[in-house]
Amino acid sequence: MRKIFVSLSVALFVPLVNLASAQDASLIEAAKREGKVAWYTSLALPSSTALAKLFQDKYKGVEVEVHRTGSQRVLQRVMQEVQAGIKNADIIHTSDAGHFVLLKDKGLLMKYVPRGTAVIPDGFKDKDGFYYGMRATLTIIPYNPKIISESEAPRSWRELVDPKWKGKLVTAHPGYSGIIMTHVAALLNQFGWDYFKELSRNRLHLVQSANDPAGVVASGERPVGVNCAEYFCYKTMKQGNPLKIVYPKEGVPLVVSPTAIAKDAPHPSAAKLFTEFIFTKEAQQMLADREGLYTGHPEVTYPKDKPRLKELKLLPVDPQELEDKNAEIKKRFVEIFGA
Amino acid sequence: MSLPGAGVLGKLRVAGRPGLRRIDATLPVWVGAALFLVFLMLLPLGSIFVTSLRDEHGITLRNYLDVFTEEAFFKAIWNTVVVSFWVGVIALGIGALLGWLVTRTDLPWKRAIRALVMASFVTPPFLGAFAWTLLAGPNAGLLNKLYRSLTGSEEHLLNIFTIEGLIFVMALYSFPYVFSMIANVCELISSDLEDAANILGAGKMRVALSITLPLAAPALVGGFIIAFLHSLSLFGAPAILGLPSGIHTITTQIWALFQYPPRLDLAAAFSVPLLLTTMCLIALQKKILGRRGYSTVGGKGGQRRLVQLGVLRFPVLLLVVGILSLSVFLPYWILLKAALSKAWAVPLTWDNFTLGNFGFAFFSYGDTQRAILNTFKLGILTATVGTLIAALIAYITNRQIFRGARFLNFFALAPLVVPGIVLAVGLFIAYTRPPLALYGTIWILFVAYLTKEMPIGFSQAETTFKSIHPELEEASRIVGANRLRALRDVTAPLARSGLIAAWCFIFVGVIRELSASILLFTPKSKVVSVVIFDLKEEGQIGVIAVLGILLLVVSFLVIFTVQRLVGRDVLASRE
């Protein structure tokens, strides 16, 4: 029976696979000639190096140079290099979808449609085929259960403005992190700037990366975060650190982080190969399993102890809106919080 | 070629009467120095002025208006002044005390204390600041935890994320500059005058106040200014300690203005006051230190008698060790702990022990290897080229090989007035676009480092040549050697140790440089300090600790190796 099934499937799929693998073979060949791909990414360092390693193990001879920093810094570096005529970046990946509106407008992206993106939902795609959501991140409230009991823990974004949290909160920065940029934009739509002004009276500790509040909360430096990248908190928690996650009842900002190939990519084939790889089920599943991320891939399964996206009230933000509000959010945030 | 260079050359031609041969010999030096000045100083700084005075419509003062009317910018300036002033005061207090103690008293363990002061000097301030966030964060900081468990209090003892915390940490890493200055002076003041006053019946206090203090006063003021300037130019420490509580300084503000969309015009306008302040202070310092009215200071004549500390000997030693544990022992210990733990805030038990941070830093994370390579390439290259140029200029000015040679001094010392971040703003504007597109390569960092370290290398080289009397060379010339031979056989061996010290200073200065690198790097040309700052922004504490330890270990290895080679204390001056 099994044999029959195998041969049947071979008979059915071989032609298709052959066609694809012929394409693949030439792409792989070209990528190997280029030898490497420079990946400007805002994915947390441990996660991005893990993904790069998975790729390198699969395609020996194509090195992934991981250049990891915050989304806004990635954009800054890309734009500085463009200005100076330096062609170094192959793939650009940030968590501020607005960046891709900007980069596309300026003609800095290469149109490329990876095969794997056929199955992902519309919210993860640019309609013209320039960029695709590689992963989705939620922003949530992390707290330290050693310091704050479950009953005391805040259940909503609004509760965080309560003066009882004065000196106990930490926030990441939209001027660094695309996740936090999207987070602020999402909450602005709910509560307006007054919410942030009230929040600032609680004397927040400011860090940069959306991942950093996890460490700050787990160490006890501040017992509660007013935001944090959920996947990083999940990982921190799984490593045995004292940290718990609250999915606030008003809704959870959904951050879709696109990836795109730079128009002047010095290693275009390697960039295409890596982009193809990113959207394979294998890579997307790895992001979900190992890194605790959500993805647009419909067949990916998630750890049992994480909520399904459809169980949550999600607060997505439109990329165009993010691009429009980027400068204002950076400026107002600094005015309100001081730096 | 721009005008100043041509002007110098024109003058030279008029001045070079003694004959064509002379002009030929000196011309390359002048051309070299002029090029150096034009490309490394005038072009970048000129770009700053031009950019600061322009907007899309033409010439304007709007950038200055924007900078000086915007409250946030004004606050950054005010914060910087307050912080730098107190850093100056505290660094002066610590540096003068320690400098005096190790040179003029019978304090035990002087060599060890000097070595520890050197360790504070070598420690990059941003690394010290990072370590102190782990030690004295108000809630998780280990010192605060200790305090709470000892006293049962709910409050914290220290909060490092405040202006006071920032002053404290910056003073810890600025005092070595004051120390070396004061120690040098104290070694030169002879006890004769103090003895005379004693004989005439003055008490210890009176002697100290009316003899020693006035003799040391210029050095004290100079030390204050040096510490003030050092703190003014720091970027990493204020970014790590100030930003989390919304405190900006001038340097962090300039850095923030580079973020997208970049406001280079405002960054330039904001750099100008920093530049002018530094210029004024350096001029002031020169004036004060240049007033060499005291014949007792300036030669090695007379005897220096050690003050007996008596019963105070051990309490004072304890105090000194206490101070140095703040700048060295505690930070190093916490770095080591963070490097070896999974969670730094939890006690280091077997459960919490890991070598993963080392593995990740060295093997998984691609940036590290490239950055280490870049850092050492730049360190060795800058130190070697810098020492050669510094030695050449110092030799020429010291031996007055041709007319006007002393003006070369100016070329070598001019970069002193330019804070690293301002230099970087200028280099960025000047060399980002073709035809001089240095940006994107490590060469723009090389240029920045070479410029920045030139004054240090030069002063070290100058001191060296000053101490070698020309008589020795003349003697060898009399017995038939030509100038080059004399240089090779006589002067070079004598100057060797001094020049190697210069090499060390530059090397250490380069591998810990952050304030210029942070604006000039690209992902391809990252250096370790920038990687550390990147990781700090992401909160990768264990990996930062590993790289910090690496920087320290390499710095110390270099210094120890060199000391062995040379056989003396490189940074501890004249012992």
Asked if the Cβ–Cβ distance from B248 to A339 is below 8 Å, we say: yes
Neighbouring residues of B424: CB distance < 8 A, sequence distance ≥ 6: B448, B515, B516, B517, B518, B519, B520
Q: What is the 3-state secondary structure (H, E, C) of B21-34?
A: HHHHHHHHHHHHHH
Alpha carbon distance B353, B542 (integer Å): 11
Q: What is the 3-state secondary structure (H, E, C) of B173-205?
A: CCHHHHHHHHHHHHHHCCCHHHHHHHHCCCCHH
B419 in Cβ contact with B426 (< 8 Å): no
- Structural domain for B138, as ranges: 71-338
Q: Compare CB distances from B365 to A49, A86, A215 and report the shortest one's residue.
A: A49
For B210-224, write each residue's pLDDT tens digit: 887 788 888 888 889
Question: Distance from A102 to chain B by nearest Cα, in Å?
Answer: 12
Measured between CB atoms, does B480 come within 8 Å of chain A?
no
Task: Give residue A278's identity as a one-letter amino acid code.
Answer: I
Residue in A158, A164, A310, A171 with CA at minimum distance from that of residue A249: A158
Quick check: B242 and B252 in contact, CB under 8 A? yes
Predicted confidence at residue B301, as pLDDT, reads 52
Residue B24 placed within a domain: no
Query: What confidence score (pLDDT) does residue B16 get?
Result: 39
Q: Do A220 and B345 touch (CB under 8 A)?
A: yes
Taking residues A289-307, report their average pLDDT.
Answer: 94
Contacts across the A-B interface (CB distance below 8 Å): 142
Contacts of B76 (CB under 8 A, 6+ apart): B248, B249, B250, B252, B253
Is residue B422 within 8 A of residue B277, CB to CB? The reply is: no
On whether any CB of chain B is under 8 Å from the CB of A43, the answer is: no
Domain residue extents for chain A:
23-136+257-310, 138-254+311-337
pLDDT tens digits for range B487-497? 788 888 888 88
**Do B365 and A207 lie within an 8 Å CB cutoff?**
no
Structure-token pair, residue B60:
């304007």
Closest-CA distance, A235 to chain B, in angstroms, reads 13
Higher pLDDT among residues B562 and B462, named by residue: B462
Q: A132-138 and A252-262: which strand pairing? A: antiparallel
Residue pLDDT, tens place only, B60-91 = 888 898 888 888 898 999 999 999 999 999 99
B142, B143, B146, B260: best mutation site toward chain A, by most A Cβ within 10 Å?
Answer: B260
Chain B residue at shortest CA distance from A215? B539
Touching check for B525 and chain A: CB below 8 Å? no
Residue of chain A with shortest Cα separation from B347: A219
Average pLDDT on A167-180 reads 97
CA distance B10 to B103: 49
- Which phi and psi angles does A295 have, rounded to 5°? -140, 170
From the list A83, A208, A337, which residue is nearest B537 (CB)? A208
pLDDT of res. B19: 43
Give the pLDDT band (50/70/90) at residue B574: very low
Identity of residue A62: V
**Cis geometry, peptide bond prior to residue B435 (ω within 30 degrees of 0):** yes
Interval A95-134: pLDDT, tens: 999 999 999 999 999 999 999 999 999 889 999 999 999 9
Of A108, A174, A137, the closest CA to residue B259 belongs to A174
Please choose, from the candidates B100, B98, B96, the residue with its C-alpha nearest in 3D space to the C-alpha of residue B113: B98
Query: Is residue B66 included in any domain, yes or no?
Result: no
Whole-angstrom CA distances from A234 to A243, A250, A303, B346 are: 8, 20, 10, 19
Between residues A22 and B319, the one the model is more confident about? B319
How many domains does chain B divide into? 1
Give helix B125-136 / helix B541-566 axis angle, nearest 10°: 130
Confidence (pLDDT) at B147: 94
Residue among B342, B344, B523 minimizing CB distance to A67: B523
Percentage of chain A beyond pLDDT 70 is 94
Q: With contacts defined as CB-CB under 8 Å, which chain A residues touch B520? A: none
**Residues in B touching A75 (Cβ below 8 Å):** 260
Per-residue tokens: B551:
């920087």
Residue B25 has what pLDDT?
60
* A90 contacts chain B (CB < 8 A): no
A209 Cα to chain B: minimum distance (Å): 5
Query: Which H or E run includes A262?
Result: strand A252-262
What is the number of other CB atoms lying within 10 angstroms of the CB of residue A7? Answer: 10
Q: With CB atoms and an 8 Å threshold, state whether A68 touches B538.
A: yes
Local confidence band at B302 (pLDDT 50, 70, 90 cut-offs): low
CB within 8 Å: B537 and A205: no
Identify the band that residue B542 occupies on the pLDDT scale cut at 50, 70 and 90: very high
Cα–Cα distance between B528 and B362 in angstroms, integer? 12
When pLDDT is averaged across residues A213-218 and rounded to a whole number, the result is 96
CB A98 within 8 A of CB A323: yes
Contact between A70 and B537 using a beta-carbon 8 Å cutoff:
yes
CB contact burial B416-446 (16+ within 10 A = b; e otherwise)? bbbbbbbbbbbbbbbbbeeeeebbbebebbb
Query: How distant is the Cα of A67 from the closest Cα of chain B, in angstroms?
Result: 6
Q: Is the pLDDT of residue A166 over 80?
A: yes
pLDDT at B1 over 90: no
**Chain B interface includes A25 (CB < 8 A):** no
Token pair recorded at residue B134:
């782990």
Of residues A55 and B205, more confidence is placed in A55
Contact across the interface for A65 and B523, Cβ inside 8 Å: yes
Q: Which residue has the higher pLDDT, B159 or B34?
A: B159
| For testing contact with chain A, the best of B163, B519, B538 (most A CBs within 10 A) | B538
The mean pLDDT value for B493-511 works out to 87
How is residue A273 written in tokens?
């190969």
Close Cβ partners of A4 (under 8 Å, ≥ 6 residues apart) = none
Lowest model confidence (mean pLDDT) among A92-101, A163-172, A176-185, B298-307 = B298-307
Chain A residue with CA closest to B542: the answer is A215
Which position has the higher pLDDT, B487 or A163? A163
CA distance B245 to B238: 11
Inter-chain contact B246–A339, Cβ cutoff 8 Å? Answer: yes
Q: Does A66 touch chain B (CB under 8 A)?
A: yes
Residue whose token pair is 């939620």: A138
Whether B161 contacts chain A with CB within 8 A: yes
DSSP type of residue B306: P
Report d(CA A126, CA B517) in Å as an integer. Answer: 36
Do the domain assignments include residue B464?
no
Read off the pLDDT band of B295 (50, 70, 90).
Answer: very low
User: For residue A258, which of A101, A89, A50, A138 has the smallest C-alpha distance?
Assistant: A101
Q: What token pair was written down for B166?
A: 């920032």
Q: Would the pLDDT of B191 be above 60?
A: yes
SS3 at position A226: coil
Interface test with B, best of A219, A227, A324, A331 (most B CBs within 10 A): A219
> For residue A2, is pLDDT > 70?
no
- Taking the CA of residue B376 and the nearest CA in chain A, the distance in Å comes to 20
Token match 């049962």: residue? B152
Q: Is the pLDDT of residue B375 over 50?
A: yes
Q: Which residues of A touch B534 (CB under 8 A)?
A: 68-69
Query: Is there a common fold for A23-136+257-310 and A138-254+311-337?
Result: yes
CB-CB under 8 Å, A79 with B260: yes
Q: Are A266 and A87 in contact (CB under 8 A)?
A: yes
Which pLDDT value is given to residue B286?
78
Q: Measured between alpha carbons, how far is residue B512 from residues A261, B336, B411, B554 in Å? A: 35, 18, 24, 11
Q: Do the Cβ atoms of A272 and A170 come closer than 8 Å?
A: no
Classify residue B537: in a domain, yes or no.
no
Min mean pLDDT across A113-122, B29-38, B176-185, B472-481 is at B29-38
Average pLDDT along chain A:
92
Dist CA B461 CA B60 (whole Å): 44
Check A81 against B245: CB less than 8 A apart: no
Asked if the C-beta of B246 comes within 8 angstroms of chain A's C-beta atoms, the answer is: yes
* CATH number (domain holding residue B155): 1.10.3720.10
Contact B409, B397 (CB under 8 A): yes
Q: Do B522 and A70 touch (CB under 8 A)?
A: no
ω before B261 within 30° of 0 (cis)?
yes
User: Across all residues in chain B, what is the average pLDDT?
Assistant: 85
Specify the residue for token string 């963070």: B338
Positive or negative: CA dihedral A212, A247, A41, A64: positive
Span A315-330, pLDDT tens digits: 999 999 999 999 999 9
> How close A203 gets to chain B, by Cα (Å)?
8
Query: Cβ of A221 and B524 within 8 Å?
Result: no
CA distance A136 to A117: 14
Q: Is A205 on the interface with B (CB under 8 A)?
A: yes
Q: What's the CATH code, domain A23-136+257-310?
A: 3.40.190.10
Specify the 3-state DSSP secondary structure of A67: strand
Tell me how far apart the alpha carbons of residues B353 and B344 are, in angstroms, rounded to a whole number.
Answer: 10
Distance CA B524, CA A65 (A): 9
Q: What is the pLDDT of residue B228?
A: 94
Q: Which of A279-283, B300-304, B365-369 has the lowest mean pLDDT?
A: B300-304
Among B286, B230, B208, smallest CA distance to B90 is for B230
Note the CATH architecture for domain A138-254+311-337. 3-Layer(aba) Sandwich (3.40)
Average pLDDT over residues B315-343: 95
Closest CA to B419 of B48, B18, B68: B48
